[in-house]
């Protein structure tokens, strides 16, 4: 069943001081969806290094994220798909890894503020900027 996949930048707005974007991200995530372990890793990195959260705060936030959405693993299949997608669509490898995970999870929408809004990948996944 097609659904939504979320990039880390959308999830991070849940703890943003930008209340309009935080509210919108919350509304999208409340409807459920999917993320990958890579998204969890990126959230952990940003919340520690850029936002200065303590490790207990990071762990709590990640647990809350996992309660809202399904989490798919990183696999060799995800990696191989990312290699192809990175070359084919000229995506950074890390963005291509997220796109690959979204395709494997059979999602039809990838919510991302950083990728090209409106780009359709492989004829079945459309990248959407939730704040555009």
Would you state the pLDDT for residue 2? 75
For 7, the token pair is 């990039």
pTM of the entire structure? 0.94
105-117: pLDDT as tens digits:
999 999 999 999 9
Q: CB within 8 A of 23, min separation 6: which ones?
A: none
Per-residue tokens: 113: 């503020």
Answer whether residue 1 shows pLDDT above 80.
no
Q: Which domains does the chain have, with CATH numbers?
A: 4-128 (3.40.50.1010)
| pLDDT surpassing 80 at residue 69 | yes
């Amino acid at each position: 069943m097609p659904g939504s996949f979320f990039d880390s930048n959308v999830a991070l707005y849940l703890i943003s001081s930008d209340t309009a974007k935080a509210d919108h991200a919350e509304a999208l995530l409340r409807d459920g969806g999917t993320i990958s372990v890579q998204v969890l890793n990126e959230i952990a990195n940003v919340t520690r290094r850029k936002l200065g959260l303590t490790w207990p705060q990071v762990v709590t936030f990640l647990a809350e994220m996992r309660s809202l959405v399904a989490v798919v693993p990183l696999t060799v299949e995800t990696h191989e798909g990312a290699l192809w997608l990175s070359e084919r669509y000229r995506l950074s490898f890390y963005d291509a890894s997220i796109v690959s995970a979204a395709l494997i999870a059979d999602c039809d929408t990838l919510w991302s503020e950083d990728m090209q809004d409106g780009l359709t990948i492989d004829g079945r996944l459309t990248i959407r900027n939730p704040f555009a």
